A and B are shown apart, each in its own frame.
Chain A
Amino acid sequence: MNAPTVLSADDASTLTTTRFTVPGMKCAGCIGKIERELPKVSGIAAARANFSAKRVAIQHDPSLGEDALTAALLSLGFEAQPVAEADLLGPLAVEVEERKRLNRALGVAGFGMMNIMLLSVSVWSGADGATRELFHWLSALIALPVIAYAGRPFFASAWMALSHRRTNMDVPISIGVILATCLSLYETITGGSHAYFDSAVMLLFFLLAGRALDAEMRTRTRAGIGALLGRMGKSASVIAPDGTTRRIAAKDLEPGMLVLVAAGEAMAADGEVVEGISAIDNAMLTGESAPEPVAPGAVVHAGAINLSAPIRVTLTRVAEDTAIAEIARLMDEAGQSRSHYVRIADRASRLYAPVVHSLAALAFAGWMIAGAGWHQSLTIAIAVLIITCPCAMGLAVPAAQVVAAGALLRRGLLVKDGSALERLAECDVALLDKTGTLTLGAPRADVSALDSEARAVALGLAQASRHPLSRGLAAALLREGVTPATITGIAEVSGQGLTGTWQGLAVGLERPEDAGEALATLLRIGAAVQTIPFADPLRADAAATLTALGREGLSASILSGDRAAPVAAVADKLGLEAQAEASPQAKLAALEALKAQGRRPLMVGDGLNDGPALAAAHASIAPGTASDASQQAADAVFIGEGLMPVALAVRVARKTMRIVRENFAFSIAYNLLAVPLALTGLATPLVAAIAMSVSSLVVVANSLRLARAAQ
């Protein structure tokens, strides 16, 4: 069903495959459209969409360039960006590979557990003599390769920690598993009555399940986020002194070069306009959606998109020196501090491991003193280790976090990993960007003053243009259910507006004379002229969200790069403190200052200028409309028009941590009950197996309570 077109071997050898990120792929129809329509373009042999990763792999003729393929996707209505080969080998690919390894290990452990259990149940129900010995040998035969394979992730991590003179959760696990295996092997060889192969393998199985859940949560949400800084221009048309132009790749550009930037092209470097009047879309850098007019002398940055007319720009800073590259570097550095964060599971194991190990040592010493002989003392000490092995603890954190992340996902919030939930729960102060975060970030036309005729004409005109205001107007009218009027002879004059003819009348959408602070457009029908104002409204639930954050004990304030007046207006409306005109560095400094005071700031922002702040904050959330870089830096991404997922995230994260602590408390309480059994030498393999599975099941069941947490 819908399999990609099968190619013969000769065909395949001459074709190349290019991968594209297609964030707009949202439904089954999109998959069908891409896979059915793309191969109809000459030169494209097959297309295969990966819906989860929002990627499309296109097999095509090598003569077809990336631009042509991007254009083909755009003609189907999908914006696409080629995925660089480096990304396919980068950290994301490593993570995918790690997840696959965990899944394979989980499969092997599951196989081993089922078969060994089968044999163990017979031993528990009374098999003895030669049968028991045979079953122990068979168990050993299955368990040894299974433990060697499935235990590798734990052994490797434990060894890594020990060689750095640290300890983590994997150290007690590895010691427990290895000792249990050695003891069981000894018992098997000497014909003893107790073998713990089933416990060792079951422990690995439950722990791997926890790890696999954790890894699944990490990769699921990250896959959808596109390449960092993908929108930056990749090349530029350089004008030589003799007037000829040639394309030069972004990395080979030099300061002082004169480049021609066509309408619709993205800047590949920073520069100064020397000729031409146009408007640029700086959304990538500032998050501001309104087009910014530029004239000779204006400074433009890499990543800005030239909207209306061609301009000539003298380059000032290129490649690594551009404002974008600088922000990327700041983000990189700010993100470093996060890697020092210690997950709750590892913090717990730092307390837990020494207690367990000294308990086992004490048991050994105690029984030796009591005169039990070294064999029995050692058996009891190892039984203590097995029964206290943090099986339920390994599940305590990931089970709760995965269920919580799933609940949040249904409410429109993607949490990137478990540590993000842990950090979100600890936040005690919130900083919010204005444009695109507290507000919707896209100019909304106020069409209430227009009659139905004017609406139809306005839509007919607006549909014909890709200017952000036209698109905003068209979107607003379409939401009202307006049918466009048929307009003939539409012409777009850059920086001036649209003109056309409707039923013999000259109609147009024009730039208002006093193009000042407020965004607006003039609708002309014959001699009548009406103003259509635009506004960037606050998200409808902004105030409610701030109240909800306050209930969680988070005081909020605004940290915006926008001008002081609009920021103050919003701050007044919401009753917040505000800091305006903050540069990316200033935002970063504000966060560092808070952290220095011992606060744990939550940053919510969307623009690339928020990137370093998002990376530096204790936890951060970005809206789905944010720049790629910001989504990458944030711990969580929310979609939709509401701001409420932000407050919800904090509430659910705290609830999750409460459940995690309950899970810990439960597994510790369970161990407290089981340890006396082990200390007195009563922990048979049957007791160990029951203890382990019941405690794991209870922990998972307790975590499932979070499924309704986001309601």
Chain B
Amino acid sequence: MTGLAFLIPIALGMGLLGLAAFFWSMKDGQYDDMDGAAARILIEDEDEPA
């Protein structure tokens, strides 16, 4: 039973972490341009000599 004292906070903490990550990704605008994100992978980067 003492295991619960560790496991429940860990489970909740991981859930909260996921929720925080979701909020961050929304605020970061990662869902603003879903079609664009799919298309951008096809753009060829120009390899400019540094």
Say yes or no: is B39 at the interface (Cβ < 8 Å to chain A).
yes
Interface residues of A in 1-51 (CB under 8 A from B): 1-2, 27-29, 31-32, 36, 49-51
Q: A28 to B39, Cβ gap below 8 A?
A: yes
Q: A50 to B36, Cβ gap below 8 A?
A: yes
- From A31, A49, A50, A114, give the contact of B15 (CB < 8 A): A114
Say yes or no: is A191 at the interface (Cβ < 8 Å to chain B).
no
Interface residues of B in 31-49 (CB under 8 A from A): 31-36, 39-46
Q: What are 15 A-to-B residue pairs whose CB atoms are below 8 Å?
A: A1-B40, A28-B43, A50-B32, A51-B36, A51-B39, A52-B33, A103-B31, A104-B23, A104-B26, A107-B19, A107-B23, A111-B19, A115-B12, A131-B4, A138-B8
How far is B33's CA from A36's CA once the two chains are assembled, in angstroms? 18
* B27 shortest CB reach to chain A, Å: 9
Residue of chain A at shortest CB distance from B7 = A118
Which residues in B have their C-beta under 8 angstroms from that of A490? Answer: none
Which residues in A have their C-beta under 8 angstroms from that of B32? Answer: 50, 52-53
How far is B40's CA from A27's CA once the two chains are assembled, in angstroms? 9
How far is B39's CA from A142's CA once the two chains are assembled, in angstroms? 40
- From B8, B11, B22, B44, give the contact of A107 (CB < 8 A): B22
How far is B23's CA from A388's CA once the two chains are assembled, in angstroms? 32
The interface bits of chain A over 91-117 (1 if a CB of B lies within 8 angstroms of the residue's CB, else 0) are 000000000100110011001001100
Which residues in A have their C-beta under 8 angstroms from that of B44? Answer: 32
Q: B33 to A51, Cβ gap below 8 A?
A: yes
The interface bits of chain A over 173-202 (1 if a CB of B lies within 8 angstroms of the residue's CB, else 0) are 000000000000000000000000000000
Say yes or no: is B50 at the interface (Cβ < 8 Å to chain A).
no
Which residues in B have their C-beta under 8 angstroms from that of A29? Answer: 42-43
How far is B31's CA from A50's CA once the two chains are assembled, in angstroms? 11
Interface of A is mostly: helix
The interface bits of chain B over 6-30 (1 if a CB of A lies within 8 angstroms of the residue's CB, else 0) are 0010011001101100110010000
* B23 shortest CB reach to chain A, Å: 7
Q: B40 to A36, Cβ gap below 8 A?
A: no
Which residues in B have their C-beta under 8 angstroms from that of A108? Answer: 19
How far is B26's CA from A111's CA once the two chains are assembled, in angstroms? 16
Which residues in A have their C-beta under 8 angstroms from that of B34? Answer: 52
Interface residues of A in 552-601 (CB under 8 A from B): none
- From B1, B23, B31, B39, give the contact of A31 (CB < 8 A): B39
Which residues in B have their C-beta under 8 angstroms from that of A50? Answer: 32-33, 36
Which residues in B have their C-beta under 8 angstroms from that of A27? Answer: 39, 42
Residue of chain B at shortest CB distance from A26 = B39
* A126 shortest CB reach to chain B, Å: 14
Residue of chain B at shortest CB distance from A142 = B12
How far is B7's CA from A131's CA once the two chains are assembled, in angstroms? 14
6 tightest A-B contacts by CB?
A51-B36, A28-B42, A32-B43, A28-B39, A111-B19, A52-B35
Q: B40 to A31, Cβ gap below 8 A?
A: yes
* A433 shortest CB reach to chain B, Å: 30
How far is B36's CA from A51's CA once the two chains are assembled, in angstroms? 5
The interface bits of chain A over 128-150 (1 if a CB of B lies within 8 angstroms of the residue's CB, else 0) are 00010010001000100000000
* B33 shortest CB reach to chain A, Å: 5
Which residues in B have their C-beta under 8 angstroms from that of A114? Answer: 15
Which residues in A have their C-beta under 8 angstroms from that of B12? Answer: 115, 142
How far is B31's CA from A51's CA once the two chains are assembled, in angstroms? 12
Q: B43 to A53, Cβ gap below 8 A?
A: no
Which residues in A have their C-beta under 8 angstroms from that of B39? Answer: 27-28, 31, 51
How far is B12's CA from A114's CA once the two chains are assembled, in angstroms? 10
Which residues in B have their C-beta under 8 angstroms from that of A36? Answer: 46
Which residues in A have their C-beta under 8 angstroms from that of B11? Answer: 115, 118
Q: B42 to A100, Cβ gap below 8 A?
A: no
Residue of chain A at shortest CB distance from B32 = A50
Q: A1 to B19, Cβ gap below 8 A?
A: no
How far is B31's CA from A104's CA once the two chains are assembled, in angstroms? 12
